């Protein structure tokens, strides 16, 4: 199932994931995809590494950017309006117990969606996520508990890339961020992208994805 949550705070989305996790686990369901945007927030991966944060916590407060310690894999990243965050609470025990394949397929979903908008995206060996001409356009960070995944990916659509100046995103100095808006030189309809993510997810994972209003 997929649920569009609009623009919500990071903590609220995390609580939703925990709630869905319990339902997926106890009822042995295939899972839920949450599609949403966040207010400006910098999240740190479970490595708790702050060396890629380039500003002080005081400066972040002044700029109204939250700083949150997350329990996902991966390094530091930033979310802000115009970036689609796709949280995947998926029961791999009902599919294939293969996390590498799951990450590969998530990247495939992103590559497939971008192709529909005339953007040629690719993987870079040794890096998680999706790239266009060496620039990073999508990031992946996951946690898995009892073969159920949490967190997911973020795709830069119309978001303000200036927020990435405050960090070395994902610790990748050589792959600055880009967005669909920057590549296409026009804003892109977020709802269209959400629709395409659902379609690609359904095709690549070979599971029907029905929209729900709540859970």
* Residue 170: active-site member: yes
Looking at 5, 86, 127, 170, which residue is catalytic?
170
Q: Where are the alpha helices (DSSP H) in the chain?
A: 10-27, 57-62, 99-116, 180-184, 190-205
Q: Is-contact 10 41, C-beta < 8 A?
A: yes
Give the span between the Cα atoms of 40 and 42, in whole angstroms.
Answer: 7
Structure tokens belonging to residue 84: 């689609």
**Any idea of the CA torsion for 182, 137, 197, 123, to the nearest 10 degrees?**
140
Q: Is-contact 209 32, C-beta < 8 A?
A: no
The residues with which 86 forms a beta bridge, in sequence order, are 35, 153
Q: Is-contact 17 11, C-beta < 8 A?
A: no
Residues 6+ away with beta carbon under 8 Å from 210: 1, 2
User: 20, exposed or middle or buried, with CB in 10 Å at 0-12, 13-18, 19+?
Assistant: buried
User: 16, exposed or middle or buried, with CB in 10 Å at 0-12, 13-18, 19+?
Assistant: buried
Which residues are known to be catalytic? 170
């Amino acid at each position: 199932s997929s649920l569009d949550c609009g623009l919500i705070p990071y903590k609220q989305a995390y609580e939703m994931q925990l709630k869905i996790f319990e339902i997926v686990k106890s009822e042995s369901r295939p899972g839920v995809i949450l599609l949403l945007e966040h207010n400006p927030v910098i999240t740190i991966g479970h490595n708790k590494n702050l060396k890629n944060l380039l500003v002080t916590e005081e400066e972040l407060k002044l700029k109204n950017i939250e700083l949150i310690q997350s329990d996902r894999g991966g390094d530091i990243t930033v979310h802000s309006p115009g970036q689609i965050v796709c949280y995947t609470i998926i029961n791999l025990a009902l599919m294939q117990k293969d996390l590498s394949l799951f990450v590969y397929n998530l990247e495939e979903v992103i590559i497939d969606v971008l192709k529909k908008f005339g953007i040629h995206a690719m993987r870079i060996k040794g890096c998680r996520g999706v790239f266009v001409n060496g620039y990073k356009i999508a990031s992946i960070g996951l946690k898995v508990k009892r073969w159920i995944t949490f967190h997911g990916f973020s795709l830069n659509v119309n978001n303000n890339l200036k927020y990435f100046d405050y960090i070395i995103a994902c610790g990748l100095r050589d792959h600055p961020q880009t967005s669909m808006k920057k590549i296409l030189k026009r804003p892109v309809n977020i709802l269209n992208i959400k629709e395409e993510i659902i379609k690609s997810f359904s095709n690549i994972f070979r599971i029907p994805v029905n929209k729900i209003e709540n859970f």
